[in-house]
Amino acid sequence: MKLTIIGTGYVGLVTGACFAEMGNTVTCVDIDARKVEGLKKGILPMYEPGLETLVANNYKNGRLQFCVSLNDPVAKSGVYFIAVGTPPEEDGSADLKYVLAVARDIGQHISEYTIVVNKSTVPVGTADKVNIAIRHELINRNITVEYAVISNPEFLKEGAAVEDFMRPDRVIVGTDSNRARNVMRDLYIPFMRNHERLLFMGVRDAEMSKYAGNAMLATKISFMNEIANLCERMGVDVENVRQGIGSDTRIGYSFIYPGAGYGGSCFPKDVKALIHMAKVNQFDPKVLNAVEERNEQQKRVLFDKIQQRFGNKISGLTLGVWGLAFKPGTDDMREASSVVLLRELISAGAKIKAYDPVAMPSARRELPGEWFKNDQLKMVDEQYSALEGSDAMVLMTEWKPFRHPDFDRIKRILKHPIIFDGRNLYDPTLLRAAGFEYSGIGR
């Protein structure tokens, strides 16, 4: 099948590469000419395990192409996926200007039956707006073209996106068109040879499913962080509590790890957008408000612990930080808890030596330049170098190389054997027995 993907960000590039891997002919369109030329050379705009090889192989074999405009003949197809960004507005709502601009562009180019797929995370009712935008362009062109606007939200985890797409646990398609339903089934069946996992529903139902899913996962995280904070005040080890409740199959172990708060491009943005949708519809989202408030507070927990330990002596300290990305497996720094911690520490007069296996280039681009110029933040090229001469170690991202480090070495190179564990990776009993001061989340 010939497909056009508009947008070569995280969602668009993974979608295009994975469809191409299954034998489809895919054109990815992006108005950023520099990015397009980079993709043709195998230079990806983000880190995602397995994606670089997938893009390079399919581009080499001619199944995956890149261009900058729908005017390019290679961009013409019968199925257009909209996969552009929907950044949050100040009020938390999703900004649809890029989605609607693409819809108008599609309306200016289609000439035969076309399926327009909303792959971007968009609020309920967006398909109607896309439909109006396309219809307006067709009226301006004085032509009649049959088309269908459908919803096909993505459920990709950063760090495992290729695996998630190639082996989905479900694919949701929102449409009331039988013709579009048949096309989408043909497109996705190759990913489901074991058993079909396609869920067809109304367009608005599909749009809400994406937000509800992410909000549910964010709720589990904030709930567990709240329990962890209570455990700490009551002398309870939250790790034992986590295992105790996780063994209940109705709850499960996923997304109940206490930590320094969730981040990334999805959970924070989608919870805010869902809260905004509720308010627009005169509904008070008490649970969602609490989820967001807890997460914002949780991002300060490690700084509060450091401040409690060192009092007003933070100024002049050097802290060694392991991990900058909001989670392992990605270089994404958006809404990362590490950014909040760095800002608080640097504002208090501390200096930072940081290491991340993947996210340091992103950090250099996205963090304030004066932090680097003023030697308030230094990136190092090896994890133990971040601890050399540091007053304490702070763990922010649970990358695999951090999970079983050489604690004897850590103890030798730190000025003080102090570990602040923002992801509860380490056993506090063993570390304290080895002479460390240890502070985790709820431990």
Give catalytic residue positions: 266
Q: Say how far apart CA 157 and CA 165 lie, in whole Å.
A: 9
Distance spanning both ends of the chain, measured CA to CA: 53
The stretches of 65-202 forming alpha helices (DSSP H) are: 97-107, 126-141, 161-166, 178-188
Residues 6 or more apart whose CB falls under 8 angstroms from that of 140 comprise none
Task: Tokens for 11, please give them.
Answer: 């969602």
28 phi and psi angles, rounded to 5 deg: -100, 130
* Helix H or strand E segment including 305: helix 301-310
**Angle formed by the axes of helices 286-298 and 203-234, to 10°?**
50
Q: Which amino acid is at 128?
A: D
Handedness of CA 406, 407, 408, 411 (dihedral sign): positive
b/e code 268-294 from CB counts within 10 Å (16+ = b): bbbbbbbbbbeeeeeeebeebeebbeb
